[in-house]
């Protein structure tokens, strides 16, 4: 991370997991309404993403990983329970819970995925594309 602009930083509620992402390397936010995301967060997961090369852990004493499926694992803080990451097996990026960023003001939501699985107690705001399954393509920046 040699960019002169400050890194984007974030972490869990208690500080036992902290991370940095190279400035300009975060993807727009995708809101996932799949059953796994709803159960692990209590709602839907709003996540940005970054390539592995643009991401680094600053503090990882609380970081725990859970293999949630054959496709991916989920990272969370073992101390405070904060949901932080979703990482597909064999891919060079990880999704980052947008709510764990210290400042997410430069990001916006570009689509909702797995909307067929959404909870019955809420509505999705109009004007943002809705995809029934997880087939979407939101490119990662080449920061």
What does the pLDDT read at residue 1? 46
If you average pLDDT over residues 35-55, what whole number do you get? 96
The share of the chain scoring above pLDDT 90, in percent, equals 83
Both tokens of 89, joined, read 């097996």
Average pLDDT over residues 22-47: 95
Rounded to an integer, the average pLDDT of 45-74 is 96
**3-class secondary structure for 69-124?**
CCCEEEEEECCCCCEEEEEECCCCEEEEEHHHECCCCCCCEEEEECHHHCCCCCCC
How many C-beta atoms surround the C-beta of residue 111 within 10 A?
17
Extents of the domains making up the chain? 16-117
pLDDT over 80 (residue 5): no
Is 70 exceeded by the pLDDT of residue 99? Answer: yes
pTM, whole model, 2 decimals?
A: 0.90
What's residue 2's pLDDT?
Answer: 52
Kindly compute the dihedral angle of the four CA atoms of residues 7, 57, 109, 34, in this order, to the nearest 10 degrees: 180
CA–CA separation, 22 vs 139, rounded Å?
Answer: 16
Chain centroid to Cα 55, Å, comes to 12
CATH code of 16-117, in short, is: 2.170.150.70
pLDDT band at 136 (very low <50, low <70, confident <90, very high): confident
- Return the percentage of the chain with pLDDT > 70, whole number: 96
DSSP string, 21-34: E-TT-PPPEEEE--
Nearest to 22 by CA among 10, 6, 42: 6
């Amino acid at each position: 991370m040699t960019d002169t602009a400050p890194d984007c930083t974030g972490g869990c509620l208690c500080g036992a997991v902290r991370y940095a992402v190279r400035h300009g390397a975060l993807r727009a936010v995708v809101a996932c309404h799949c059953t796994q995301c709803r159960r692990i967060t209590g709602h839907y997961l709003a996540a940005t993403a970054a390539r592995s090369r643009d991401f680094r852990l600053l503090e990882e004493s609380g970081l725990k990983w859970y293999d949630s499926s054959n496709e991916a694992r989920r990272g969370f803080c073992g101390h405070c329970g904060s949901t932080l990451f979703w990482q597909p097996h064999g891919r060079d990026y990880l999704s980052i819970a947008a709510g764990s960023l210290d400042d997410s003001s430069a990001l916006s939501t570009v689509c909702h995925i797995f909307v067929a699985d959404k909870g019955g107690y809420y509505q999705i705001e109009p004007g943002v594309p809705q995809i029934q399954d997880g087939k979407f393509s939101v490119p990662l920046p080449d920061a």
